[in-house]
Chain A
Amino acid sequence: MKADLEGPGTLAEQTSQLSEEMADLLRSVFPDAPDFEVELVGSRSVVRPVGDSVPLSVGRKRLAALEISMSCCLDSVQRYLAVEKSHFKLYADIDRTPILRFDYVREMRTKPHAHIQVHGHRGALSHLLSQSGHATPHDMSSLHLPVGGSRFRPCLEDIIQFLITECGVDYKPGWRQRVEEGRDRWRRRQIAAATRAVPSEAARVLTELGYRVELPRTAAGDSSPALRNW
């Protein structure tokens, strides 16, 4: 109740809470997950694991790492924490070039705000891109695969589940429950944000479901960028 009365907290408090949630999640699913650190300057903060990445092992042998970074600030009304940029990068220990990158950039001009980049090669793709005049046809990582924009992008829990179930990295007992709890929390936040961004659609669906919804006197309009940006 105290938090509700006093608001969501300062940038430092909200960034710390985000870091604690991430650190707690990672420690509950991966062996040897590190502490997290937050660096603050004025109204901006950066969150990352100590040492920049989470070690990943297979059969207790360290083979890879998940690098995490989140650059944060307060939103336009200086109230809620906003992630300006984030990345989750999968590295194999035998190479310093990433394998996969899950990136998000809130202010993106030409590329998709949320995207995946794959550092790989495929002859057929290179052929296609070279025919279309692409600047780097042999580099698959120059393609930004769109993944749902700001609201529907993958969360850390999705990447964790991908690493465990698809890549076969070591995990702790009970990981699935923690991942699903975290995903539940993430999607509720994103649904709330999507509702604020497009209230007319939220009202329409709630009415359709039998809820009584009344328009406020000063109803906020729908956000065109939320609906149209990729």
Chain B
Amino acid sequence: MTHVHVREVTREELLRRREAILARLGVEYDELARRAESYSLAGDEWSAWDRLQEIEFLLGDEG
């Protein structure tokens, strides 16, 4: 049986999640963005950058 879990998330939850991702990597957002732009991400930064991009997309509606 197929399961799809749908849930509404809040801006606050997304901001907390973004902070947690950056804290885990030990890097500032701008620095990570610069590395992504120059194709020099490494290791877990690839997946983390994707998660951050998703968060930015979802937050974009609020701005």
Residues of B within 8 A of A97 (CB): 41-43, 46
Given known A41-B9, A41-B59, A136-B38, contact A20–B54 (CB-CB < 8 A)? no
Residues of B within 8 A of A98 (CB): 46
Number of A-B contacts (CB under 8 A): 92
**B2 A27 Cβ-Cβ under 8 A:** yes
Q: How many residues of B contact A (CB 8 A)?
A: 29
Q: How many residues of A contact B (CB 8 A)?
A: 39
Cross-interface CB contact of A44 among B7, B42, B44, B61, cutoff 8 Å: B61
CB distance from B15 to the nearest CB of A (A): 11
Q: Interface digits, B8-42 against A, CB 8 Å rule (1 contact, 0 not)?
A: 11110010000000000000000000000011011
**B61 A42 Cβ-Cβ under 8 A:** yes
Given known A24-B2, A97-B43, A98-B46, contact A41–B14 (CB-CB < 8 A)? yes
Q: Is A85 an interface residue (CB 8 A)?
A: yes
Q: Nearest CB to that of B3 among chain A residues?
A: A35
**A44 B6 Cβ-Cβ under 8 A:** no
**A44 B60 Cβ-Cβ under 8 A:** yes
CB distance from A213 to the nearest CB of B (A): 40
Instruction: State in angstroms the CA–CA spacing of A85 and B53 once bound together.
Output: 10
**A42 B50 Cβ-Cβ under 8 A:** no
Chain A contact residues, CB within 8 Å of chain B: 12, 15-16, 19-20, 23-24, 27, 35-46, 48, 50, 52, 67, 69, 71, 73, 84-85, 87, 89, 96-98, 135-136, 139, 141-142
